[in-house]
Structure 1
Amino acid sequence: MTATDLPAVLMLERELFPEDAWSEGMLRAELADQPRTRHYVVAEDGGRLVGYAGLAAAGDQGDVQTIGVRAGHQGRGVGAALLAELLDEAGRRGCAAVFLEVRADNDRARALYERFGFTRVGVRKNYYQPSGMDAIVMRRRAGAATVGFTREEDFS
């Protein structure tokens, strides 16, 4: 992901996460740390942005910052491909574990993360604002097995 992707990413961010969308400033700050501590990617279909994802990595720990996939492309492997790219980057950076937070009511995302070897390690009460929804904290240790995924996506 580059600054030229931001308009499309921001539109999708607001569509997917209307209550707690990241601001342009937040995304610019994330991109400013590439490649030092951040790795952001986008997925396109026919030249149109259909997904994006980001990883923060420092020391031996990685954190999935965000994954967003356009509604019409959900369930078609885009999120899995984006997550696989983030985990590959975490491996290249020597991360022993990768963490993430997922909305407690997002069963589809939790199932995806479990397929990639993430396990629940905690709860952050009232994490998502303004809704007050809890976040499930999940962790994947290096070398954890992935079930039912083959890479077929290209990223820029």
Structure 2
Amino acid sequence: MREMTHADCDRVAEIRVRGRQTAYRGLMPQAYLDGLDVAEDAARHRARLAGGGGRVVNLVAEQEGEVTGWAAFGPYRDGDAHTADAELYALYVHPGHQGRGAGRALLAETVRRCSAAGRPRVFLWVLRDNARARRFSERAGFWPDGAEEAFEAGGVAVPEVRSVTVPHARPVTAPGA
């Protein structure tokens, strides 16, 4: 586990795009998923890293020298305002490496860092119909709090539900811990 560097942008983009294409099949329009572009995503990651200002933390998980997962987190976004809480903006594991602990390790490290920074709660948004991701986050101590919003993907409204954990109340542990 380490912070992402510019050298990781291509691999992280591949993980994010392939992860979305796999996890969101049947939950988002296929044309939208097919249109996701690794090179464009990598360019966005490079731009965000260059101008990030330290508000967003990007972590990568490595297994046997290969980057297999990525997570990004920072202050919770409530409209245009940031709150004292934290938000896990994204967590993806390459489809070929799922089920090997990278996602759990990334989530545990995210919650650990948020707790160490004094963030009272950590929020995340999950596609409402993504049962696998919802089970994953619930096993880690994140529970839906009743908030639901939709975002547009390929002209279709895709509903998300918000989940929350209180880092000091129920610590999230990495695999084997």
Gaps of 5+ in 2: 22-32, 76-81
CA–CA distance in structure 1, aligned partners of residues 158 and 5 of structure 2: 31
Residue 146 to residue 3, structure 1, CA distance change in 2 (3 Å)? same
Of 138, 144, 159, 1:134 maps to 159
Higher helix share: 2
4+ residue segments displaced more than 6 Å? none
Distance apart, 1:128 and its partner CA: 4.9
CA–CA distance in structure 1, aligned partners of residues 15 and 137 of structure 2: 21
Could you say which residue in structure 2 is the equivalent of 1:4? 7
Could you say which residue in structure 2 is the equivalent of 1:16? 19
Q: TM-score, length-normalised on structure 1? A: 0.82
Of 46, 49, 61, 1:28 maps to 46
**Could you tell me the percent identity over the aligned residues?**
28
Alignment of 1:105-120 (within 5 A): 105-120=129-144
CA–CA distance in structure 1, aligned partners of residues 69 and 110 of structure 2: 13
Larger Rg: 2
Q: TM-score, length-normalised on structure 2? A: 0.74
- Aligned pair count? 150
Could you say which residue in structure 2 is the equivalent of 1:77? 101
Could you say which residue in structure 1 is the equivalent of 2:28? none
CA RMSD of aligned residues (A): 2.4
1:39 aligns with 2:42: no
Could you say which residue in structure 1 is the equivalent of 2:73? 55
